[in-house]
A and B are shown apart, each in its own frame.
Chain A
Amino acid sequence: MFGKVRLSLFAALLASIFGTAYAADAPKEIKLGTLYASSGRFASISMPVHYGLKLWIEQKNAEGGVFVKAFNKKIPITLVAYDDQSNTATAATLFNQLITQDKVDLLVSDSGSVLTSVGVPIARDNKMFLFDQTGTGAAFFTPDNPYIALMSDPVSSVWPKPLADFITHDGNGLGIKRVAMLYSTNDFTGTQANAVRKFIKESGTDVEFVYDQGIPTDTTNYAVLINNIRATNPDAVIHLGYAPNDIAFIHSLEDGGVNFKFLFCIYPGLETELLEKNLGVKPLNYIFTYVTSSEIEYEPNFGMKLKEYKELWNKKYAGGNVEFGFNSVAGYNTGLVIEKALSVAESLEQLEIRKAVFSLSGKLKTLDGTFELDPNGAQLGMSTPIGQINVDDHDHVKFVTVWPHEVANGKPVYPRP
């Protein structure tokens, strides 16, 4: 084992001496290093992302590899993936493993903010560009760190803008004035709650918060909280939590026979199949949610369309334990960004890769939406419109997009019947 390490050290030394002359010889493979969580808290958001990325790699390798402009040829991708089991300490070791031992060419994070967070300083320290798949934490993107960009969903601090806009414009028009917000206090939903609060307060409308409570993320019991919210007589209820929180919250509403006039939750849109399996379709009817790329047919200028991709996914992972949803699209989208970046990058130097990724901003359109970065690498595109779930007569969940108006295909039903 040490022999191999010394050899690669030697290779690195050679590379630094001979510089680009050495690099011009095309490598036999592009090593893509990533982490996933097969168990623990984040498994349910990590596995679909990972499967999506894997699907892209297999597809490219079946075509003989991905086109790399630096060598002007197709090169197969080798995946080096480790399981961090949702443990941040393990994830940190494994990020190091990928960079220092496996010497991967491309570094891709695990899904979600928590597991991505440990990779940010490590990637930066090792001068490796981090393809941040879905880690939306606003703190990751700073002017002094060029080694990161967010691929597949908007940064938490801008993500809920459509929600706040819908409430203060159309919602206000429908009579929404009193808003109740319940959120889980973690980096993801806590930041979203702060953003919603800020956007609504800055809107200058008469929309006010009558209930605004943060609760621990591991809360499973919502009966009393729901009763307290009901006591404030709100026109609209916003619940921001992870999938288990949404399941418990909606379960509780259903069991308690409580119906809010307007209810927004994140995960009916993000992990629709998972929520359907847990709750059945009826309780999801008329809930407002983010309509993600797993539900909207965007017109991509690169990569598969949603329908093709979903067919391929279902063929490949039929009968598995991983549901199709937004996260499955997100992992595939990361692959597409990588593919496009490699097709324009002049070399495999990390900063050159960064330059290539940023050059796609505003131009690349995938099945996940438009790719648009701010100068620090935070994703501004890939935005998620607001939609309302509509269960049809055959118990199929449909999304009626209501905001923004450019993409809207229906009118909101308010109050919830």
Chain B
Amino acid sequence: MLTYTLLAGLLFGLYFTLIGLGLNLVFGVMRIVNLAHGDFLMLGAFLAFWLFSLFAINPIPTIPIAFLVFLLLGFPLYYLLVPRLLRAKDPEMLSFILFFGLSQVIQALATILWGTSERSIPGGQLGRAIAAILSFVTGRTIENGPIEILGQSFPAAWVASGIASGIGVLLVYWYLYRTKLGYLTRAVMVSRDEAVASGIDVDRISAIAFGFGLGLAAVAGVFAPFLLGSITPAMGAEVTITSFAVIVIGSLGNPLGTLLGGLVYGISYMFMQSYYSSWANLLPYLLLIAVLLLRPNGLLGRQARRA
């Protein structure tokens, strides 16, 4: 039971890393609070759902599709909303409200288009693709079904989301620390004003980061029907809050911080659920407040958050 809880927490935590990754990037670069983050995840989830139910496209190939679609969607959305917002007196605060408005618009459109019933994708679908991939990679025939790790069996979707999350973290890390654009992005994170002064095209850098953020949210959405049971147009708000807990526990800008935040969150959630199940949902909030007050810079962070 202990091993199972721990491993489940790890996998679940990796999924929450994936959820938080995009939000962290947007907050880190633009200092704006994307309250519609969960709603973009919801859109990604519906993309996977419709591609599957209309064209029988397996969720695995949907992952790159979702990422690209939302990356491209991010650019116009950025130029429409953010530069104007950043010129206001208190952009950080106003972004709360602006993106709340956006979240309402997305939710309303989704409800009008798709109704309110729960939707999901049967679990075997993802498993089949993963079994095929694993068979190909290992050269052995792997049956569709739960995957064994250390003698415990877990849903294939959990393992797949864990892998996707790992790739996501590595990609963001590689982008930030190994590419020229990433270098400039980090400069914007440290100080937007200085970046502007040194001639960096801050808007271009930010727009790319914004697109990345939405793309990652959409990828996390593809897994939502499997990890969160079912999807509805109204699911976004709760996801947003949890992802805030994750990125605050870690630290801003650093994808490894989000990884740590996700794991701390996932493991402690699973332990709470295992041993004090009725209190489990209290945990993210307490963790968030405790980390903010005790280690205001996040578990890995350096930037000051104090007033």
Q: Do residues A247 and B226 form an inter-chain contact, with CB atoms below 8 A? A: no
Q: Do residues B5 and A274 form an inter-chain contact, with CB atoms below 8 A? A: no
What sequence of 0s and 1s flags, for each residue 111-131 of chain B, a beta carbon within 8 Å of any chain A beta carbon?
Answer: 100111111101110010000
Q: Do residues A247 and B116 form an inter-chain contact, with CB atoms below 8 A? A: no
B303 at the interface (CB under 8 A from A): no
Q: Do residues B117 and A254 form an inter-chain contact, with CB atoms below 8 A? A: no
Q: Do residues B277 and A213 form an inter-chain contact, with CB atoms below 8 A? A: yes
Known: A224-B274, A248-B230. A231 touches B1 (CB 8 A): yes
User: Would you give the shortest CB distance from A229 to chain B, in whole angstroms?
Assistant: 11
Q: Do residues B153 and A257 form an inter-chain contact, with CB atoms below 8 A? A: yes
Q: Whole-angstrom distance between the alpha carbons of A28 and B290 in the complex?
A: 64
Count residues of chain A with CB under 8 A from any CB of chain B: 45
B83 at the interface (CB under 8 A from A): no
Known: A39-B116, A44-B118, A220-B228. A255 touches B278 (CB 8 A): no
B75 at the interface (CB under 8 A from A): no
Task: Give A278's nearest chain B residue, CB to CB.
Answer: B120
A185 at the interface (CB under 8 A from B): yes
What sequence of 0s and 1s flags, for each residue 174-199 of chain A, a beta carbon within 8 Å of any chain B beta carbon?
Answer: 00000000000100000000000000
B68 at the interface (CB under 8 A from A): no
A47 at the interface (CB under 8 A from B): yes
Q: Do residues A252 and B155 form an inter-chain contact, with CB atoms below 8 A? A: yes
Q: Whole-angstrom distance between the alpha carbons of A383 and B202 in the complex?
A: 66
User: Would you give the shortest CB distance from B229 to chain A, in whole angstroms?
Assistant: 2
A155 at the interface (CB under 8 A from B): no
Within 8 A of B (CB), among A286-336: 320-323
Name the residue in B115, B154, B228, B274 with the highest tally of chain A Cβ atoms < 10 Å from its Cβ: B115
B158 at the interface (CB under 8 A from A): yes
Within 8 A of A (CB), among B132-154: 145-146, 153-154
Q: Do residues A215 and B278 form an inter-chain contact, with CB atoms below 8 A? A: yes
What sequence of 0s and 1s flags, for each residue 254-291 of chain B, a beta carbon within 8 Å of any chain A beta carbon?
Answer: 00000000000000011001100110110000000000
Known: A223-B8, A256-B153, A278-B120. A39 touches B158 (CB 8 A): no
B4 at the interface (CB under 8 A from A): yes
Q: Do residues B1 and A227 form an inter-chain contact, with CB atoms below 8 A? A: yes
Q: Whole-angstrom distance between the alpha carbons of A278 and B107 in the complex?
A: 20
Q: Do residues B116 and A44 form an inter-chain contact, with CB atoms below 8 A? A: yes
A138 at the interface (CB under 8 A from B): no
Within 8 A of A (CB), among B1-57: 1, 4-5, 8-9, 12
Q: Do residues B157 and A255 form an inter-chain contact, with CB atoms below 8 A? A: yes
Q: Whole-angstrom distance between the alpha carbons of A156 and B183 in the complex?
A: 61
Taking CB atoms, residues of chain B closer than 8 Å to A252 are 155, 229
Q: Whole-angstrom distance between the alpha carbons of A247 and B158 in the complex?
A: 17
Name the residue in A39, A41, A320, A321 with the highest tally of chain B Cβ atoms < 10 Å from its Cβ: A39
A216 at the interface (CB under 8 A from B): yes
Task: Give B15's nearest chain A residue, CB to CB.
Answer: A221
User: Would you give the shortest CB distance from B118 to chain A, in whole angstroms?
Assistant: 5
Q: Do residues B12 and A251 form an inter-chain contact, with CB atoms below 8 A? A: no
Q: Whole-angstrom distance between the alpha carbons of A225 and B275 in the complex?
A: 10
A244 at the interface (CB under 8 A from B): yes
User: Would you give the shortest CB distance from B117 to chain A, in whole angstroms?
Assistant: 5
Q: Do residues B230 and A255 form an inter-chain contact, with CB atoms below 8 A? A: no
Known: A218-B281, A256-B153. A323 touches B117 (CB 8 A): yes
Task: Give B4's nearest chain A residue, CB to CB.
Answer: A227
Taking CB atoms, residues of chain A closer than 8 Å to B153 are 256-257
B73 at the interface (CB under 8 A from A): no
Within 8 A of A (CB), among B85-128: 107, 111, 114-120, 122-124, 127
Q: Whole-angstrom distance between the alpha carbons of A216 and B280 in the complex?
A: 8
Q: Do residues B118 and A224 form an inter-chain contact, with CB atoms below 8 A? A: no
Q: Do residues A40 and B116 form an inter-chain contact, with CB atoms below 8 A? A: yes
Q: Do residues A255 and B155 form an inter-chain contact, with CB atoms below 8 A? A: yes
Q: Whole-angstrom distance between the alpha carbons of A255 and B145 in the complex?
A: 7
Among A39, A225, A257, A278, the residue within 8 A (CB) of B145 is: A257
Q: Do residues A322 and B273 form an inter-chain contact, with CB atoms below 8 A? A: no
Task: Give B234's nearest chain A residue, CB to CB.
Answer: A40
10 A-B pairs whose Cβ atoms sit less than 8 Å apart in the complex: A39-B107, A39-B234, A43-B116, A220-B227, A223-B8, A223-B155, A224-B8, A228-B274, A245-B229, A279-B123
User: Can you name 11 extra interface pairs (CB under 8 A) apart from A214-B278, A249-B229, A279-B123?
Assistant: A216-B281, A218-B238, A219-B273, A221-B229, A224-B270, A231-B1, A251-B226, A257-B153, A277-B117, A322-B115, A323-B117
